[in-house]
Structure 1
Protein backbone atom coordinates (compact mmCIF):
# COMPACT_ATOMS: atom_id res chain seq x y z
CA UNK A 1 0.00 0.00 0.00
CA UNK A 2 2.85 2.35 0.86
CA UNK A 3 4.41 1.68 -2.55
CA UNK A 4 1.15 2.45 -4.38
CA UNK A 5 0.81 5.82 -2.62
CA UNK A 6 4.44 6.64 -3.42
CA UNK A 7 3.88 5.79 -7.08
CA UNK A 8 0.64 7.79 -7.23
CA UNK A 9 2.40 10.77 -5.63
CA UNK A 10 5.28 10.50 -8.14
CA UNK A 11 2.77 10.23 -11.02
CA UNK A 12 0.86 13.30 -9.80
CA UNK A 13 4.07 15.32 -9.39
CA UNK A 14 5.24 14.27 -12.86
CA UNK A 15 1.89 15.15 -14.47
CA UNK A 16 1.81 18.57 -12.80
CA UNK A 17 5.45 19.24 -13.72
CA UNK A 18 5.28 18.16 -17.38
CA UNK A 19 1.64 18.87 -18.23
CA UNK A 20 1.21 22.18 -16.40
CA UNK A 21 4.42 23.86 -15.22
CA UNK A 22 6.63 23.04 -18.23
CA UNK A 23 4.10 24.19 -20.90
CA UNK A 24 3.43 27.39 -18.93
CA UNK A 25 7.17 28.05 -18.67
CA UNK A 26 7.63 27.55 -22.43
CA UNK A 27 4.62 29.79 -23.12
CA UNK A 28 6.13 32.46 -20.85
CA UNK A 29 9.49 32.33 -22.65
CA UNK A 30 7.69 32.47 -26.03
CA UNK A 31 6.18 35.83 -25.07
CA UNK A 32 9.64 37.35 -25.52
CA UNK A 33 10.09 35.84 -28.99
CA UNK A 34 9.05 37.60 -32.20
CA UNK A 35 5.27 37.42 -32.62
CA UNK A 36 4.97 35.92 -29.10
CA UNK A 37 5.99 32.44 -30.32
CA UNK A 38 3.20 32.17 -32.88
CA UNK A 39 5.64 31.93 -35.76
CA UNK A 40 6.66 34.56 -38.25
CA UNK A 41 3.45 34.93 -40.21
CA UNK A 42 2.94 36.65 -43.53
CA UNK A 43 -0.26 38.70 -43.58
CA UNK A 44 -2.29 39.97 -46.52
CA UNK A 45 -5.19 42.26 -45.62
CA UNK A 46 -4.94 41.11 -42.01
CA UNK A 47 -5.24 37.42 -42.96
CA UNK A 48 -2.43 34.91 -42.43
CA UNK A 49 -1.38 33.50 -45.83
CA UNK A 50 1.64 31.56 -44.62
CA UNK A 51 4.77 31.46 -42.53
CA UNK A 52 8.16 32.94 -43.40
CA UNK A 53 10.09 29.88 -42.24
CA UNK A 54 7.99 27.13 -43.87
CA UNK A 55 8.01 26.47 -47.61
CA UNK A 56 4.74 26.29 -49.49
CA UNK A 57 3.79 24.76 -52.80
CA UNK A 58 3.59 27.22 -55.67
CA UNK A 59 3.17 25.46 -58.99
CA UNK A 60 1.03 27.84 -61.02
CA UNK A 61 2.90 29.52 -63.89
CA UNK A 62 2.08 33.04 -62.65
CA UNK A 63 3.93 32.54 -59.34
CA UNK A 64 7.55 32.03 -58.43
CA UNK A 65 8.29 28.42 -57.60
CA UNK A 66 10.20 27.37 -54.52
CA UNK A 67 12.38 24.38 -53.86
CA UNK A 68 10.86 20.95 -54.42
CA UNK A 69 9.75 19.17 -51.27
CA UNK A 70 10.42 15.54 -50.35
CA UNK A 71 7.31 15.64 -48.10
CA UNK A 72 4.98 17.61 -50.39
CA UNK A 73 5.27 20.65 -48.09
CA UNK A 74 3.71 18.84 -45.12
CA UNK A 75 5.15 20.58 -42.05
CA UNK A 76 3.98 17.73 -39.82
CA UNK A 77 6.28 15.35 -41.68
CA UNK A 78 9.40 17.42 -42.23
CA UNK A 79 12.11 15.26 -43.80
CA UNK A 80 14.49 14.85 -46.68
CA UNK A 81 14.32 12.01 -49.17
CA UNK A 82 17.21 10.05 -47.60
CA UNK A 83 18.31 8.98 -51.08
CA UNK A 84 21.90 9.51 -52.04
CA UNK A 85 23.18 11.15 -55.23
CA UNK A 86 23.94 7.73 -56.77
CA UNK A 87 20.43 6.33 -56.15
CA UNK A 88 18.77 5.60 -59.52
CA UNK A 89 15.28 6.51 -58.25
CA UNK A 90 16.55 9.83 -56.90
CA UNK A 91 18.39 10.63 -60.14
CA UNK A 92 15.22 9.87 -62.13
CA UNK A 93 13.21 12.21 -59.87
CA UNK A 94 15.73 15.03 -60.27
CA UNK A 95 15.76 14.50 -64.06
CA UNK A 96 11.95 14.66 -64.09
CA UNK A 97 12.11 17.97 -62.17
CA UNK A 98 14.68 19.29 -64.66
CA UNK A 99 12.51 18.24 -67.62
CA UNK A 100 9.43 19.89 -66.09
CA UNK A 101 11.37 23.07 -65.36
CA UNK A 102 12.68 23.20 -68.95
CA UNK A 103 9.20 22.70 -70.41
CA UNK A 104 7.90 25.72 -68.50
CA UNK A 105 11.12 27.71 -69.07
CA UNK A 106 12.00 26.87 -72.71
CA UNK A 107 14.43 29.77 -72.87
CA UNK A 108 16.80 28.04 -70.42
CA UNK A 109 19.48 25.40 -70.87
CA UNK A 110 19.81 22.57 -68.38
CA UNK A 111 23.14 23.99 -67.18
CA UNK A 112 21.44 27.29 -66.23
CA UNK A 113 19.09 25.71 -63.68
CA UNK A 114 20.40 26.18 -60.12
CA UNK A 115 20.44 22.97 -58.09
CA UNK A 116 18.03 24.39 -55.50
CA UNK A 117 15.27 24.47 -58.13
CA UNK A 118 15.41 20.68 -58.70
CA UNK A 119 16.58 19.24 -55.37
CA UNK A 120 14.70 19.21 -52.08
CA UNK A 121 16.28 20.56 -48.90
CA UNK A 122 17.04 18.39 -45.88
CA UNK A 123 13.79 19.44 -44.19
CA UNK A 124 11.69 19.41 -47.35
CA UNK A 125 10.27 22.75 -46.22
CA UNK A 126 12.85 25.34 -47.28
CA UNK A 127 10.97 28.63 -47.82
CA UNK A 128 13.82 30.21 -49.79
CA UNK A 129 15.46 29.90 -53.16
CA UNK A 130 18.74 31.32 -54.35
CA UNK A 131 18.66 34.68 -56.12
CA UNK A 132 19.56 32.80 -59.31
CA UNK A 133 16.59 30.46 -58.76
CA UNK A 134 14.26 33.46 -58.61
CA UNK A 135 15.89 35.43 -61.42
CA UNK A 136 15.65 32.61 -63.98
CA UNK A 137 11.87 32.65 -63.48
CA UNK A 138 11.53 36.38 -64.23
CA UNK A 139 10.83 35.94 -67.96
CA UNK A 140 8.00 33.43 -67.32
CA UNK A 141 6.44 35.54 -64.56
CA UNK A 142 6.59 38.74 -66.62
CA UNK A 143 4.84 37.03 -69.53
CA UNK A 144 2.17 35.40 -67.33
CA UNK A 145 1.44 38.63 -65.42
CA UNK A 146 1.67 41.05 -68.36
CA UNK A 147 4.49 42.90 -66.64
CA UNK A 148 7.86 43.92 -68.00
CA UNK A 149 10.84 41.74 -67.21
CA UNK A 150 12.50 44.79 -65.67
CA UNK A 151 9.60 45.28 -63.22
CA UNK A 152 9.78 41.67 -62.09
CA UNK A 153 13.58 41.69 -61.91
CA UNK A 154 13.52 44.81 -59.70
CA UNK A 155 10.97 43.07 -57.45
CA UNK A 156 13.23 40.00 -57.10
CA UNK A 157 16.30 42.13 -56.38
CA UNK A 158 14.37 44.01 -53.68
CA UNK A 159 13.64 40.68 -51.95
CA UNK A 160 17.17 39.29 -51.93
CA UNK A 161 18.33 38.80 -48.34
CA UNK A 162 22.06 38.90 -47.85
CA UNK A 163 23.48 37.38 -44.68
CA UNK A 164 25.00 39.74 -42.13
CA UNK A 165 28.00 37.54 -41.36
CA UNK A 166 28.09 34.16 -43.09
CA UNK A 167 25.92 32.19 -45.48
CA UNK A 168 24.42 32.66 -48.89
CA UNK A 169 21.92 35.15 -50.23
CA UNK A 170 18.31 33.93 -50.40
CA UNK A 171 14.87 34.99 -51.58
CA UNK A 172 11.78 34.07 -49.54
CA UNK A 173 9.33 32.70 -52.11
CA UNK A 174 6.13 33.44 -50.14
CA UNK A 175 7.09 37.07 -49.50
CA UNK A 176 8.14 37.46 -53.14
CA UNK A 177 4.80 36.05 -54.38
CA UNK A 178 2.83 38.32 -52.03
CA UNK A 179 4.78 41.30 -53.38
CA UNK A 180 4.19 40.03 -56.93
CA UNK A 181 0.43 40.03 -56.33
CA UNK A 182 0.69 43.60 -55.02
CA UNK A 183 2.70 44.65 -58.10
CA UNK A 184 0.15 43.03 -60.42
CA UNK A 185 -2.71 44.89 -58.68
CA UNK A 186 -0.90 48.21 -59.06
CA UNK A 187 -0.01 47.42 -62.67
CA UNK A 188 -3.61 46.70 -63.71
Structure 2
Protein backbone atom coordinates (compact mmCIF):
# COMPACT_ATOMS: atom_id res chain seq x y z
CA UNK A 1 0.00 0.00 0.00
CA UNK A 2 2.88 2.32 0.81
CA UNK A 3 4.35 1.77 -2.67
CA UNK A 4 1.00 2.57 -4.27
CA UNK A 5 0.68 5.88 -2.37
CA UNK A 6 4.27 6.79 -3.31
CA UNK A 7 3.49 6.05 -6.97
CA UNK A 8 0.35 8.19 -6.88
CA UNK A 9 2.27 11.10 -5.27
CA UNK A 10 5.00 10.86 -7.92
CA UNK A 11 2.42 10.72 -10.72
CA UNK A 12 0.55 13.75 -9.38
CA UNK A 13 3.80 15.71 -8.89
CA UNK A 14 5.02 14.79 -12.38
CA UNK A 15 1.73 15.85 -13.96
CA UNK A 16 1.71 19.12 -12.02
CA UNK A 17 5.24 19.94 -13.14
CA UNK A 18 5.19 18.57 -16.69
CA UNK A 19 1.65 19.47 -17.65
CA UNK A 20 0.49 22.46 -15.63
CA UNK A 21 3.90 23.94 -14.87
CA UNK A 22 5.31 23.58 -18.39
CA UNK A 23 2.13 24.85 -20.09
CA UNK A 24 1.98 27.84 -17.73
CA UNK A 25 5.65 28.64 -18.35
CA UNK A 26 5.24 28.48 -22.14
CA UNK A 27 2.09 30.63 -21.96
CA UNK A 28 3.83 33.20 -19.71
CA UNK A 29 6.87 33.45 -22.01
CA UNK A 30 4.60 33.86 -25.03
CA UNK A 31 2.57 36.58 -23.29
CA UNK A 32 5.74 38.39 -22.21
CA UNK A 33 7.52 38.28 -25.57
CA UNK A 34 4.77 38.40 -28.22
CA UNK A 35 1.30 38.66 -26.68
CA UNK A 36 -0.51 39.27 -29.98
CA UNK A 37 0.87 36.12 -31.59
CA UNK A 38 0.47 34.09 -28.40
CA UNK A 39 -3.23 34.96 -28.47
CA UNK A 40 -3.65 33.84 -32.09
CA UNK A 41 -2.89 37.04 -34.05
CA UNK A 42 -6.57 37.90 -33.98
CA UNK A 43 -8.06 40.72 -36.02
CA UNK A 44 -10.92 42.45 -34.24
CA UNK A 45 -13.45 45.15 -34.98
CA UNK A 46 -13.40 48.32 -32.88
CA UNK A 47 -16.17 46.82 -30.71
CA UNK A 48 -13.97 43.80 -29.92
CA UNK A 49 -15.74 41.31 -32.20
CA UNK A 50 -13.24 38.86 -33.67
CA UNK A 51 -13.10 38.91 -37.47
CA UNK A 52 -10.42 36.28 -37.95
CA UNK A 53 -6.75 35.49 -37.53
CA UNK A 54 -3.77 36.75 -39.50
CA UNK A 55 -2.45 33.19 -39.41
CA UNK A 56 -5.39 31.18 -40.77
CA UNK A 57 -6.97 31.52 -44.21
CA UNK A 58 -10.66 32.17 -44.59
CA UNK A 59 -12.81 31.44 -47.63
CA UNK A 60 -13.80 34.34 -49.88
CA UNK A 61 -15.76 33.71 -53.07
CA UNK A 62 -17.50 36.99 -53.91
CA UNK A 63 -15.99 38.77 -56.95
CA UNK A 64 -15.44 41.94 -54.87
CA UNK A 65 -12.87 40.17 -52.66
CA UNK A 66 -9.43 38.67 -53.14
CA UNK A 67 -9.64 34.89 -53.12
CA UNK A 68 -7.17 32.83 -51.09
CA UNK A 69 -5.45 29.62 -52.07
CA UNK A 70 -7.76 26.61 -52.18
CA UNK A 71 -7.94 24.55 -48.99
CA UNK A 72 -7.91 20.76 -48.81
CA UNK A 73 -9.55 21.04 -45.36
CA UNK A 74 -12.24 23.56 -46.30
CA UNK A 75 -10.51 26.27 -44.21
CA UNK A 76 -11.16 24.34 -40.99
CA UNK A 77 -8.28 24.98 -38.59
CA UNK A 78 -9.27 21.98 -36.48
CA UNK A 79 -8.31 19.70 -39.35
CA UNK A 80 -5.24 21.33 -40.90
CA UNK A 81 -3.56 19.18 -43.51
CA UNK A 82 -3.19 18.39 -47.15
CA UNK A 83 -5.48 16.20 -49.18
CA UNK A 84 -2.98 13.31 -49.32
CA UNK A 85 -4.03 12.77 -52.91
CA UNK A 86 -1.56 11.99 -55.65
CA UNK A 87 -0.73 14.82 -58.06
CA UNK A 88 -2.26 12.60 -60.74
CA UNK A 89 -5.56 12.28 -58.86
CA UNK A 90 -8.60 13.00 -61.06
CA UNK A 91 -10.18 14.81 -58.08
CA UNK A 92 -7.32 17.31 -57.95
CA UNK A 93 -7.41 17.73 -61.72
CA UNK A 94 -11.15 18.43 -61.66
CA UNK A 95 -10.76 20.91 -58.78
CA UNK A 96 -7.96 22.70 -60.63
CA UNK A 97 -10.07 22.92 -63.80
CA UNK A 98 -12.96 24.46 -61.82
CA UNK A 99 -10.64 26.98 -60.20
CA UNK A 100 -8.99 27.94 -63.49
CA UNK A 101 -12.45 28.44 -65.01
CA UNK A 102 -13.61 30.54 -62.03
CA UNK A 103 -10.65 32.87 -62.52
CA UNK A 104 -11.20 33.00 -66.27
CA UNK A 105 -7.60 32.03 -66.92
CA UNK A 106 -6.48 31.43 -70.49
CA UNK A 107 -3.25 30.21 -72.10
CA UNK A 108 -2.49 33.87 -72.86
CA UNK A 109 -3.23 34.87 -69.23
CA UNK A 110 -2.27 31.81 -67.14
CA UNK A 111 -3.33 31.51 -63.52
CA UNK A 112 -0.53 31.64 -60.92
CA UNK A 113 -0.10 28.05 -59.73
CA UNK A 114 -0.65 28.90 -56.07
CA UNK A 115 -4.23 29.99 -56.80
CA UNK A 116 -5.05 26.51 -58.11
CA UNK A 117 -3.08 24.45 -55.59
CA UNK A 118 -3.71 24.15 -51.86
CA UNK A 119 -0.88 24.75 -49.43
CA UNK A 120 0.46 21.88 -47.32
CA UNK A 121 -1.72 22.71 -44.31
CA UNK A 122 -4.62 24.04 -46.37
CA UNK A 123 -4.76 27.19 -44.23
CA UNK A 124 -2.12 29.51 -45.72
CA UNK A 125 -3.45 33.07 -45.20
CA UNK A 126 -1.09 34.63 -47.75
CA UNK A 127 -0.88 34.80 -51.51
CA UNK A 128 1.93 36.27 -53.54
CA UNK A 129 1.81 39.84 -54.73
CA UNK A 130 1.65 38.44 -58.27
CA UNK A 131 -1.44 36.34 -57.40
CA UNK A 132 -3.13 39.38 -55.86
CA UNK A 133 -2.34 41.51 -58.93
CA UNK A 134 -3.85 38.75 -61.08
CA UNK A 135 -7.17 39.35 -59.31
CA UNK A 136 -7.03 43.17 -59.38
CA UNK A 137 -9.10 43.62 -62.58
CA UNK A 138 -11.97 41.48 -61.28
CA UNK A 139 -12.06 43.31 -57.96
CA UNK A 140 -11.81 46.75 -59.55
CA UNK A 141 -14.73 45.91 -61.82
CA UNK A 142 -16.86 44.45 -58.99
CA UNK A 143 -16.21 47.46 -56.76
CA UNK A 144 -16.29 50.04 -59.55
CA UNK A 145 -12.80 51.21 -58.67
CA UNK A 146 -9.93 52.10 -60.94
CA UNK A 147 -7.63 49.11 -61.39
CA UNK A 148 -4.52 51.20 -60.52
CA UNK A 149 -6.21 52.02 -57.18
CA UNK A 150 -6.55 48.33 -56.36
CA UNK A 151 -3.00 47.63 -57.54
CA UNK A 152 -1.66 50.46 -55.35
CA UNK A 153 -3.39 48.90 -52.34
CA UNK A 154 -1.79 45.53 -53.14
CA UNK A 155 1.68 47.08 -53.44
CA UNK A 156 1.18 49.02 -50.20
CA UNK A 157 0.16 45.91 -48.25
CA UNK A 158 2.73 43.52 -49.74
CA UNK A 159 5.70 42.53 -47.61
CA UNK A 160 8.78 40.34 -47.90
CA UNK A 161 8.56 37.72 -45.12
CA UNK A 162 12.32 37.26 -45.05
CA UNK A 163 13.16 40.94 -45.37
CA UNK A 164 15.86 41.67 -47.92
CA UNK A 165 16.65 37.94 -48.15
CA UNK A 166 13.29 37.22 -49.83
CA UNK A 167 12.61 38.39 -53.35
CA UNK A 168 8.94 37.36 -53.43
CA UNK A 169 6.45 39.56 -51.62
CA UNK A 170 3.25 38.30 -50.00
CA UNK A 171 -0.08 39.79 -48.97
CA UNK A 172 -2.43 38.60 -46.25
CA UNK A 173 -5.78 37.95 -47.94
CA UNK A 174 -7.96 38.81 -44.93
CA UNK A 175 -6.12 42.06 -44.21
CA UNK A 176 -6.21 42.99 -47.90
CA UNK A 177 -9.97 42.39 -48.06
CA UNK A 178 -10.51 44.43 -44.90
CA UNK A 179 -8.49 47.27 -46.43
CA UNK A 180 -10.67 47.02 -49.56
CA UNK A 181 -13.78 47.32 -47.40
CA UNK A 182 -12.20 50.34 -45.76
CA UNK A 183 -11.90 52.04 -49.15
CA UNK A 184 -15.68 52.29 -49.32
CA UNK A 185 -18.71 50.16 -49.86
CA UNK A 186 -18.82 48.60 -53.29
CA UNK A 187 -21.75 49.76 -55.37
CA UNK A 188 -24.12 46.99 -56.37
Q: TM-score, normalised by structure 2?
A: 0.88
Paired position in structure 2 for 1:40: 41
Aligned 8 A contact 1:147 1:184 in 2: no
- 1:101-116 matches, cutoff 5 A: 101-102=103-104, 108-110=105-107, 111-116=109-114
Q: Does structure 1 residue 95 correspond to structure 2 residue 97?
A: yes
The 8 Å contact of residues 68 and 127 in structure 2, kept in 1 or not, is answered as yes
CA RMSD of aligned residues (A): 2.0
Cα deviation code 1:89-135 (max 9, x no counterpart)? 22222222212222xxxxx4155200111110001000011112111
Q: Distance in 2 between matches of 1:93 and 1:169?
A: 26
Alignment partners' CA distance in 2, 1:41 and 1:167: 27
Structure 2 unaligned segments of length 5 or more: list them.
none
- After superposition, the C-alpha distances for 1:21-66 in whole angstroms (9 at most, x for unaligned) are 1221112111212426102222332433111111111111111101
Q: Map of 1:27-106 to 2, 5 A cutoff?
A: 27-31=27-31, 32-35=33-36, 37-47=38-48, 48-102=50-104
Q: 1:12 maps to which residue?
A: 12
Instruction: Give the TM-score of the pair, scaled to structure 1.
Output: 0.88
Counterpart CA distance in 1 for 2:113 and 2:47 is 35
Q: Distance in 1 between matches of 2:53 and 2:130?
A: 22
- Supply the distance in 1 between the matched residues of 2:11 and 2:128 (Cα, whole angstroms): 51
Q: 4+ runs of 1 displaced by more than 3 Å?
A: none
The aligned residue for residue 105 of structure 1 is none
Q: CA deviation at 1:186?
A: 10
Q: Would the alpha carbon gap of residues 38 and 148 (structure 1) be closer, same or farther in structure 2, given more than 3 Å must change?
A: same
Change in CA separation of 1:118 and 1:84 when aligned onto 2, cut-off 3 Å: same
Count of residues paired in the alignment: 182
